[in-house]
């Protein structure tokens, strides 16, 4: 999209892909939507169906040209996660439950303090794992081959 890399990157992200957020600044202020993509190198997020801009695309081989509406990235400071109980924008905090699990919770002035669950979309992989071995994969026979025996001293390097 032509954005430069951010000068100061956010180290600990609290907003995740699949979160329900509200836009708090810009032309779509007050609207809410799901985060479609997180661009960490630019400190930006893309919200599904929001911040639409017109993109002129030239016709080429295999595709037609024209004017298309696409979602432009928003800076992460211009969105806030919605509280699951009140439905209002809130800040995010982390705490540990009694059983030792780390969870996100809603914090701030109008927040309920409810636990914000991790989005289900994060459990799916973007690229599926390959099912067949590739040309650079090690064959299973070589992986299971025993090359060192501690009791017999076989396979010890000469030191």
The string of pLDDT tens digits covering residues 84-112 is 999 999 999 999 999 999 999 999 887 89
Q: Is residue 154 part of a domain?
A: no
28, 96, 149 from 47: Cα distances, Å: 11, 29, 56
Q: Is residue 111 part of a domain?
A: yes
pLDDT given for residue 34 in this prediction: 96
| Averaged pLDDT, 21-40 | 95
pLDDT given for residue 85 in this prediction: 93
Reported as a pLDDT band with limits 50, 70 and 90, residue 1 is low
Q: Is residue 49 part of a domain?
A: yes
Around 29, how many Cα atoms within 13 Å sit in the side-chain half-sphere?
A: 5
Vertex 85 angle, CA 82 and 87, to 5°: 40
Q: Is residue 139 part of a domain?
A: no
pLDDT given for residue 133 in this prediction: 84
Q: Which residues contact 120 (CB under 8 A, 6 or more apart)?
A: 18
Q: Is residue 77 part of a domain?
A: yes
Q: Is residue 43 part of a domain?
A: yes
**Domains in the chain, number:** 1
19, 68, 135, 136, 150 from 145: Cα distances, Å: 46, 57, 20, 18, 15
pLDDT given for residue 110 in this prediction: 79
Q: Is residue 35 part of a domain?
A: yes
> Alpha helix locations (H) across 61-155?
140-144
CATH of the domain at 43: 2.30.30.30
pLDDT tens string 42-83: 999 999 999 999 999 999 998 899 999 999 999 999 999 999
pTM of structure: 0.74
Q: Can you read off the two tokens belonging to residue 50?
A: 């929001």
Domain residues for the domain of 105 are 17-56+63-120
Reported as a pLDDT band with limits 50, 70 and 90, residue 132 is confident
Say which range, 26-30, 146-150, 152-156, has the weakest mean pLDDT: 152-156
Q: Is residue 102 part of a domain?
A: yes
């Amino acid at each position: 999209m032509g954005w430069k890399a951010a000068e100061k990157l956010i180290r600990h992200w609290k907003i995740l892909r699949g979160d329900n957020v509200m836009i708090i600044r810009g032309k779509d202020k007050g609207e809410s939507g799901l985060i479609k993509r997180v661009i960490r190198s630019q400190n930006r997020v893309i919200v599904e169906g929001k911040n639409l801009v017109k993109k002129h695309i030239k016709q080429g081989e295999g595709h037609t040209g024209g004017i298309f509406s696409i979602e432009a990235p928003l800076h992460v400071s211009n969105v806030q996660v919605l509280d699951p109980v009140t439905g209002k924008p809130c800040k995010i905090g982390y705490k540990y439950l009694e059983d030792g699990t780390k969870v996100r919770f809603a914090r701030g002035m109008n927040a309920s303090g409810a636990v914000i669950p991790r989005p289900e979309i994060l459990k799916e992989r973007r690229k599926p794992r390959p099912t067949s071995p590739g040309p650079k994969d090690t064959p299973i026979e070589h992986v299971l081959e025993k090359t060192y025996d501690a009791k017999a001293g076989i396979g010890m390097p000469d030191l």
